[in-house]
A and B are shown apart, each in its own frame.
Chain A
Amino acid sequence: HLQVQTLLRERLCHQQLPQRPEGVDSQHKHLMELLKRTAVHGESNSVLIIGPRGTGKTQLLRCVLAELLAEEDVDKTLLQVHLNGLLQTDDRIALKEITRQLSLENVVGDQVFGSFAENLAFLLEALKKGDRSSSRPVLFILDEFDLFAHHKNQTLLYNLLDVSQSAQTPVAVVGLTCRLDVLELLEKRVKSRFSHRQIHLLPSLSFSQYLQAVQAQLHLPDTTFPDTTFCYDWNASLKVDKSVEAVLLRHFNSTKDFRSLHRLLMAILCRVSVNNPTIKPADLLDASRLLSADAMTNVLHGLSILELCLVIAMKHLNDIYDGEPFNLQMVYNEFKRFLQRKSNSLYNFELPVVMKAFEHLQQLEVVRPVDAAAAVAARAQREYQLVRLMLDHSQIMEALQKYPQCPTDVKQWAASAFG
C-alpha cells in the first residue's frame, strides 16, 4: 500500500508530466511547431500562452519542452532561460538572472558582476553578435508575464522582443499569464514588436470527461505495479456511483481546473492507510466537505462566548445602521442592552475585559479597522476607532448552529430581529 501512496502522491503533488495532456492537442501542436522552428530552423518567434489559473499552461510548456529536448541535436544546442515575474520583480534582478542562466562571461561561479547598465549592454552585445546560422538558439520562458509588464519602461520586454524581430541570435520568447487582457498592458512599441501569437488554454471539459479524468488520475498502472491483486482490487473499487457522482458534480460546478481536483484527491489519498487500503465513497464525501467548508466559520468555533456575543452585537449594529462602521464603545453598548434584558450576571464583564476580547477579534481579522494607517498611529482612545465586521451574516448563523454548547439565550439573541 505504501507504493500506492508514493505513486499517487508523485502524480498529484509533484506534477509528474503525463505523456500528453488531454484535450489540448491543437495547442500542443501549435507550440511544438513554433519552438521547433526556433530550435531547428533558427527562426525567431514570440508567443503568449494565456489561460486561467490551474488549467495547465506550465504543464503544457514542460511537455512540449520534454518532447523537443528528446531530439539529441536540439538538446545540445538549445539554451534555456527561465524567468518568473514573482521572483524577478525588477529588470535589474531579471537581467542578473538571465546572465547567470546563460553563463555569460561576467559570471564567476554563481555571482554576476557588473552594474545593471553594464549587464544590459553586455547581454545585448552577446545577442547581437549571433546570427541565424552560427549561434545557438535561446528560449526565454517568462512565467507571470503580466508582472514583467509592470517594470519600469518595460525595458526587458522591449529588448527581448526586439531581438526576436532582428536578424540576431534566434530567440523564442514564451510568456505565460492568466490575465486575458495582458496585451493591453504592453506599451505600443513593445506591442508592435510582439508577434501577437496567442495560445489560449481554456478548460473545456464536459462533466463526463471530468469523471473519466478523475478515474484516470486515481488509476494504478496494471503493468508496472508490483502487487497485481491489490492493483486489481484498487482499480475495481474506483467505480462511480450516485453519491460519488453527486460530490464530483458539486466540485465540477465550482471549478473545472485540475489543481483543485488534485487537492481533493490528495485529501482522499491521505485517508488511505494499512488498515484502510481502499478508497470508499465516504472518503470522498468527507474530503469534499473538508475542502468546501467555510474558513471563517471554523474560526468562529474557536471563539469564547464573550467574543461570540460581541460578534452578534456587531451583526445587530450592521442591521440597524446598514453596514456603517462602528467602534468598540457602540458594540459594548449594544452588548449591555442584551444583558439588561436578560438580567443575567454571568456575562457582566468590565470594559477592559471586553476590550481585550475585541482586540483578539481584531487579531483574527474578524473585524478590521476602516483606516489601517490611522489605527496604528493613534495610540490613545482605541475604543473609539471605527472598525468593520468582515463576516457575512450567513457565516455567523452557520457558526452558531454548530458551536459546541452554545447557550440558548445567545442563540436566541442572534436570531431575534430586534437585538
Chain B
Amino acid sequence: MARYLTRNRLRRIYKWGGFPVSHDRKLKTDEYDSLHISLEDLPRTTVITNGQYILIEGVDDDHPYVAKVTKLIESDKKKKALVQWFARVGEVPPNKLKLLGREPHPQEIFYYEGPTCEDEIDVESILNTVQVHQSTLSYWMEVLYVKLSWNTKVFKVVTPEQIETATAAAPRLVPTPGRLRPALPPSPPCSPALAATPRSRAPSRRCVCCHLSVSRLHVSSVPESLPCREQEFQDIYNFVESKVMDGTGGCMYISGVPGTGKTATVHEVIRSLQRASDADDVPAFNFIEINGMKMTDPHQAYVQILQKLTGQKATPDHAAALLEKRFSHAGPKKESTVLLVDELDLLWTRKQNVMYNLFDWPTRRHGRLVVLTIANTMDLPERIMINRVASRLGLTRMSFQPYSFKQLQQIIMSRLNKVKAFEEDALQLVSRKVAALSGDARRCLDICRRATEICEHTSLDPGAPGLVGMSHVMQALDEMFSSAYVTAIRCASVQEQLFLRSVLMEFRRLGLEEATFQQVLVQHQALCRVEGLQPPSVSEALAACQRLGACRLLLLEPSRLGVLQRVRLNVSQDDVLYALKAE
C-alpha cells in the first residue's frame, strides 16, 4: 500500500464475524458464516453472509464485478470467499450480445456458466453488497436483475433451481481433473473494461489469458499510477501543488531518455491535482499541454496555447501579444494555469524568443503560470539556451533515470496484475536485456507483447497457450534486436557475393577502406575466372553493385559517376567473411 497519501486509496478493514462454523482438517481451512467490512474512520459496517450478492473490485471503478457468495473460508491466514460469478452486459462480447435479440438493460446481469474463472477470491477485493432480483422489473439504482444465463456461447433462461443450487455448490479448492483450464471469455474486442477477475494465487495452476495480457502489455494502456516513479511523482506533485496554492508561477525542467515515464508521470500528477481540486483541497486550475514535435513551427506554440486557453484563433504574432497581455495584467478571479511543454528542444529558434517568453511569463506577478518542460538531455539549458533564457528556466530540475532491470520487472508484473502469464526466468531475461541496452520501458513492453503473441500462435492447444517461456522470449528478442546483414549477404546472388569478396580483396591490396568501382571490377573479373564463371559485363557488375548499395551493404557514391564511383563497406569485414564462409 503506498504511503503517499496523495494517491487515492480508501482503506477497508475486513474481519470475520464470530467464530468458525466448521473446520476442514484435510484442507486445513476454517469456514465462517459472516464477514464484516468497515471503512477506515467511518462507523458504517457492511456484513456479508453466505448467499448474498456482492460487488467485487475490478479494473474499472464504475463497473465492478458481481458475484454471489457461496462460502466464506480462511486458509493459511488468508481470508477467501467462494463465489458464483455473474457477468455484466459489458463483459459479453458485442457480437454475442446480438444473440440476446433485444437491447440489454444496463443493470442486467447474466448467470455465468461458461468455462469459469477461479471461484475463489481474496476477500480484500470485495467492495460492497448489492441487490439482485430474478426477472423482476425494478429500475432502482442499486438493484441488478438476472434473467438469463451466459456460457460464453449462448444465452439460456436461468431456472430458479440454478440460483438456489449456487448457494449450496461444493467448494472446489482442487481442480477436478480433466476440467477445462480456467479462461476468461475472449475479451470483447471493443469493451473498455477488460480485465481479469481477481484470482487467487494457486501455484500449481497455469492461468493465462493471452488476449488479456496482450492488451495490458500494450504501451497505450498506461496504468493509473506508475510503479517505480513514486519519488518523482511526489516531487513534481509538491512543486505544482505549492505553486498553485500560493497563486505564483514557476518553471520546472524534466529530463530523461525516451521511455522513462516523464510525460506519464506528469499526467498522473495533474490527474491527482484535479481530483484534489474537485475535493476543494487545492484551488482550481487550467491544464494545457503542447508538444514541440506536434507543431510545424516553434511560433505555432503561441497559437496553440492561446487556442487551448481561450479558444481564440490568431496568427503567431497576434497570439504572442495576446498572451503577453494576459499574463502581465491582473485579471479578476484568475485561475492558475499549468502548462506542459513536451519535447522542449524543438521550440528552439535562433533568437530563442519562444523559449524566452515561455520562461518569462511565469515570473510575472499576476501571471500565475506554472510551466513544466520535458526534454531528453540533462544539459539542454546549458547547451542550447542563451544565458537569460537559462536563468529564467531556473534550477528546479528533475532527471528521470533509465529503468533498472528490477524496475522493469516490477513494471511488467504490475501491468499483468496477478495474471500469471510469464515464466520467471523469461521475464528476467527480458528485463535484463532491455535494462542493459537502454532502460526504455516501451521497448520492454513491446518485446513482452510480441513474446506473448508468439506463445499464443505456436502453442499446440489454442485454448490454453500456457506460460510464455524462454524460447518465446528468445525468439521475440531475436526478431526485434536482429540486424539482418549477415542473412542478407547469405541470401545474395552469386555475383553479388563475389563482388563483396572482391571488395574485400581490393581493400586488402590497397590497404585502405575505400576503392573505386573500376579497381574492384578488375578483382571481380579475376575472381570469376578462378571460380569458373563467366565474367559479367560492366553493366551487369554495376547493377550488382547498385543492388548492394540500395540495401546499404555497401556505401556508394552517386551513380552518375559510373565506373569511377568509390565503394565502401557498411558492414564490418569480419561479418562479411563470416557470412560468406558459412556457405
Contact = CB atoms under 8 A, between A and B. Distances in A.
User: Is B truly associated with A?
Assistant: yes
Interface of A: 29, 33, 40-44, 50, 52-53, 91-92, 116-117, 120-121, 124, 131-134, 153, 155, 158-159, 162, 165-168, 178-181, 188-189, 191-193, 195-198, 200, 202-204, 250, 252-256, 292-297, 365, 368, 388, 390-392, 394-395, 398
B14 interface: no
Interface string B480-497: 111111011001111110
B303 A117 contact: yes
A132 B190 CA distance: 6
A117 B295 contact: yes
B539 A202 contact: no
Interface in B414-435: none
Given A52-B551, A391-B563, A256 B296 contact: no
A396 B21 CA distance: 106
A126 to B, nearest CB: 13
Contacts of A153: 293, 346
A388 B563 CA distance: 11
Contacts of A159: 293-294
Contacts of B440: 192
A53 B386 CA distance: 48
A205 B551 CA distance: 19
Contacts of A121: 294, 304
B317 interface: no
Nearest to A146: B552
B17 interface: no
Contacts of A368: 562
Interface in B527-561: 533-534, 536-540, 543-544, 547, 550-553
Interface string B456-487: 01000000000000000000000111111101
A133 to B, nearest CB: 4
Contacts of A202: 484, 487-488, 491
A165 B219 contact: yes
18 contacts: A44-B218, A162-B294, A178-B550, A189-B343, A192-B259, A195-B450, A197-B446, A197-B479, A198-B484, A203-B491, A253-B533, A254-B536, A255-B493, A255-B544, A255-B547, A292-B540, A390-B562, A390-B564
Nearest to A124: B294
A71 B494 CA distance: 42
B493 A179 contact: no
A197 B219 CA distance: 14
- SS class, residues of chain B in contact with chain A: helix
B550 A53 contact: yes
Nearest to B496: A255
> Which 9 pairs, one residue from A and one from B, show the smallest C-beta to C-beta distance?
A192-B258, A133-B190, A202-B491, A253-B494, A294-B537, A196-B480, A167-B220, A117-B296, A195-B446
Nearest to A189: B258
B258 A132 contact: no
Contacts of B550: 52-53, 178-179
Nearest to B449: A195
A293 B539 CA distance: 8
Given A44-B220, A178-B551, 7 more contacts: A52-B547, A52-B550, A165-B219, A167-B221, A167-B222, A195-B219, A202-B487
A124 B291 CA distance: 12
B104 interface: no
B48 to A, nearest CB: 33
A363 B540 CA distance: 23
B539 A296 contact: yes
B296 A116 contact: yes
A180 B553 contact: yes
B246 interface: no
A158 B293 contact: yes
Interface in B300-325: 300, 303-304
Contacts of B222: 167
B257 interface: yes
A257 B296 CA distance: 40
A58 to B, nearest CB: 15
A295 B562 CA distance: 12
A159 to B, nearest CB: 6
Most buried by B among A124, A167, A192, A368: A192
A255 B488 contact: no
B214 interface: yes
Contacts of B457: 29, 33
Contact of A255 (B191, B495, B534, B563): B495
A323 to B, nearest CB: 8
Nearest to A119: B296
A230 B522 CA distance: 49
Given A254-B493, A255-B496, A294-B539, A132 B192 contact: yes
Given A121-B304, A134-B190, A202-B488, A296 B538 contact: yes
A128 to B, nearest CB: 10
